[in-house]
């Protein structure tokens, strides 16, 4: 895996210097040398608009009143620039309540990484992003990575979205 990360550009968005340093150390141990850090959502957007980023690691709780990591993800997904809208995003947070995970998913995050995490956890998320990228879905109310996880393609005739719901007969 380390060879495949040598040319990957990663943005780490976290207001904690300690977490940024820890994540950067983990990434460097995998051979990822193209790292950029941002403390705020605005800094992250400025970086994303100036340089090529392949993967973003975004903390949920940024030390800002105006923007959280969730807000940043929404802004990225709504960007008029296609290279940003399809950016793989890993949400990092210690707030792992089901509601938060669903909100991050609905905002368009690609993967979720619960803090505290290990180097192995981070590595597995990176492998998933690179080796098994998710297709993107666009509907009236959602744009982001396909929320379903599948190891194989399901033929349309077996996909419940293409079948009418069975109705029970009431007598």
pLDDT band at 140 (very low <50, low <70, confident <90, very high): confident
Is a pLDDT exceeding 80 seen at residue 168? no
Q: What pLDDT sits at residue 64? A: 63
Is a pLDDT exceeding 70 seen at residue 60? yes
Topology at the third CATH level for domain 2-162: Rossmann fold (3.40.50)
Which percentage of the chain shows pLDDT scores above 70?
81
Is a pLDDT exceeding 70 seen at residue 46? yes
pLDDT (tens digit per residue) in 64-106 = 666 789 999 999 998 888 888 999 999 998 888 898 888 888 8
Q: What pLDDT sits at residue 101? A: 87
Is a pLDDT exceeding 80 seen at residue 24? yes
Report whether 61 contacts 68 (CB < 8 A).
yes
Domain ranges within the chain, ordered by starting residue: 2-162
- For residues 170 and 112, which has the higher predicted lDDT (pLDDT)? 112
Is a pLDDT exceeding 50 seen at residue 5? yes
pLDDT band at 127 (very low <50, low <70, confident <90, very high): confident
Q: What pLDDT sits at residue 72? A: 94
Is a pLDDT exceeding 90 seen at residue 155? no
């Amino acid at each position: 895996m380390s060879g495949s990360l040598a040319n990957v550009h990663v943005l780490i968005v976290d207001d904690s210097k300690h977490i940024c340093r820890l994540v950067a150390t983990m990434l460097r141990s995998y051979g990822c040398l193209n790292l950029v850090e941002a403390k705020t959502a605005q800094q992250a957007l400025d970086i994303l608009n100036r340089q090529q980023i392949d993967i973003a690691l975004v903390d949920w709780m940024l030390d800002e009143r105006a923007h959280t990591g969730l807000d940043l993800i929404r802004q990225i997904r709504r960007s008029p620039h296609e290279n940003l809208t399809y950016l793989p995003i890993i949400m990092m947070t210690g707030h792992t309540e089901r509601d938060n995970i669903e909100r991050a998913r609905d905002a368009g995050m690609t993967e979720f990484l619960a803090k505290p995490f290990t180097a192995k956890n981070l590595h597995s998320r990176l492998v998933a992003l690179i080796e098994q990228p998710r297709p993107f879905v666009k509907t009236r109310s959602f744009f982001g990575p396909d929320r379903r996880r599948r190891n194989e393609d399901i033929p349309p005739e077996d996909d419940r979205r293409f079948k009418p719901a069975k109705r029970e007969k009431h007598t």
